[in-house]
Structure 1
Amino acid sequence: MNFKQYLVVLPGIVLAFVLYTLSQGFNNIIGIELLGYEKSPISTAMIAILLGMFFGNIFQMRDSFIKGLDFTQKYILKFGIICLGIQLKPFEFLEFGSIAIPLIAICIISVLIVIKLLIKKLKIPTRMAYLISIGSTVCGTTAIMAAAPVIGARKNEVSYAIANITLFGILSMLIYPYFANFYFDAEPLYVGLFLGTSIHETSQVAAAGLIYDQQFNSPETMNVATVTKLIRNTFLVIMIPLFAFLYNRNNVIKKDYSIIAIFPYFVLGFVGMIVLRNIGDQFFLVSYNDLWLNTVLTIKSLSKVFLTMAMAAIGLSTNLKDLKSMGYKPFVVGFIGMATVGVVSILTIEIYLNFLN
Structure 2
Amino acid sequence: MQTNDSTMQPAQPTKPRAWEEALFGMRTAELGKVVPGVLLALGIAIGASFLADALGAAVLRFQGLDPAGRGSPISAISVAVVLGLILANVVDLPKIFGAGLGFSVKKILRLGIILVGIKLSVIDVLQVGAIGIPIVVALVLFALAATLWIAKRAGLSNQLGSLAAASTAICGITATVAIAPSIEADDKEVAYTVANVTLFGLFGMLAYPYLAHFLFGDASSSAGLFLGTAIHDTSQVMGAALSYKEVFADERAMQVATVAKLTRNALLVAVVPFLAFLHARRAGHAGKKVPLAKLFPVFVLGFLALSLVRTLGDVGLQGGGLALGAWDAASWKSMAKFIGEKSATVALGTALAAVGLTTRLSVFKKLGLKPFFVGLSAALIVGVAALALAALAGPFVG
Do these two structures clear the TM 0.5 threshold for a shared fold by scoring above it?
Answer: yes
SS at match of 1:89: helix
Query: Per-residue deviation at 1:213?
Result: 5.9
- Quickly say closer, same or farther: Cα 1:30–1:102, change in 2 above 3 A: closer
Question: What letter matches 1:104 in structure 2?
Answer: V
Structure 1 alignment gaps of length 5 or more = 120-127, 149-156, 200-204
Q: Is 1:323 aligned with 2:352?
A: no
TM-score (norm 2): 0.65
Matches within 5 A, 1:61-80: 62-63=97-98, 66=101, 69-70=104-105, 71-79=107-115
Report the equivalent of 1:262.
Answer: 295
- Quickly say closer, same or farther: Cα 1:232–1:167, change in 2 above 3 A: same
> For 1:12 and 1:346, how far apart are their aligned partners in 2?
38
Report the equivalent of 1:39.
Answer: 68
Q: Flag the structure with higher helix content.
A: 1
Report the equivalent of 1:82.
Answer: 117
Matches within 5 A, 1:239-278: 239-246=275-282, 248=284, 256-263=289-296, 264-265=300-301, 266-278=303-315
Report the equivalent of 1:306.
Answer: 343
Query: Per-residue deviation at 1:17?
Result: 6.5
Of 222, 228, 231, which residue of structure 1 is paired with 2:264?
A: 228
| Identical pairs, percent | 7
SS at match of 2:75: helix
Cα root mean square deviation, aligned: 4.3
> For 1:177 and 1:43, how far apart are their aligned partners in 2?
12
Query: Per-residue deviation at 1:75?
Result: 0.9
Matches within 5 A, 1:99-248: 99-119=135-155, 129-138=157-166, 139-148=175-184, 158-185=186-213, 187-195=223-231, 199=232, 205-212=233-240, 218=254, 221-246=257-282, 248=284
TM-score (norm 1): 0.71
How many residues align? The count is 327
Query: Per-residue deviation at 1:27?
Result: 6.7
SS at match of 1:39: coil
Q: What do residues 154-210 of structure 1 show as CA deviations (whole Å, max 9, x unaligned)?
A: xxx844433332321232343332233233238332211123xxx3xxxxx234345
> For 1:19 and 1:101, how far apart are their aligned partners in 2?
36
Report the equivalent of 1:50.
Answer: 79
Query: Per-residue deviation at 1:103?
Result: 1.0
Q: Is 1:92 aligned with 2:127?
A: yes
Q: Is 1:296 aligned with 2:296?
A: no
Query: Per-residue deviation at 1:82?
Result: 1.8
- Quickly say closer, same or farther: Cα 1:38–1:289, change in 2 above 3 A: farther
**Which structure would you say has the larger Rg?**
2
Bigger mean CA deviation after superposition, 182-191 or 60-69: 60-69
Query: Per-residue deviation at 1:345?
Result: 1.6
SS at match of 2:290: coil
Query: Per-residue deviation at 1:231?
Result: 0.7
Is the Cα contact below 8 Å between 1:83 and 1:299 reproduced in 2?
yes
> For 1:132 and 1:284, how far apart are their aligned partners in 2?
47
> For 1:4 and 1:97, how far apart are their aligned partners in 2?
48
Q: What do residues 113-164 of structure 1 show as CA deviations (whole Å, max 9, x unaligned)?
A: 2222222xxxxxxxx521111111124344343234xxxxxxxx84443333
Structure 2 alignment gaps of length 5 or more = 1-22, 167-174, 214-219, 246-253
> For 1:232 and 1:85, how far apart are their aligned partners in 2?
11
- Quickly say closer, same or farther: Cα 1:213–1:262, change in 2 above 3 A: farther
Is the Cα contact below 8 Å between 1:53 and 1:317 reproduced in 2?
no
- Quickly say closer, same or farther: Cα 1:129–1:299, change in 2 above 3 A: same
Query: Per-residue deviation at 1:228?
Result: 0.2
> For 1:270 and 1:178, how far apart are their aligned partners in 2?
30
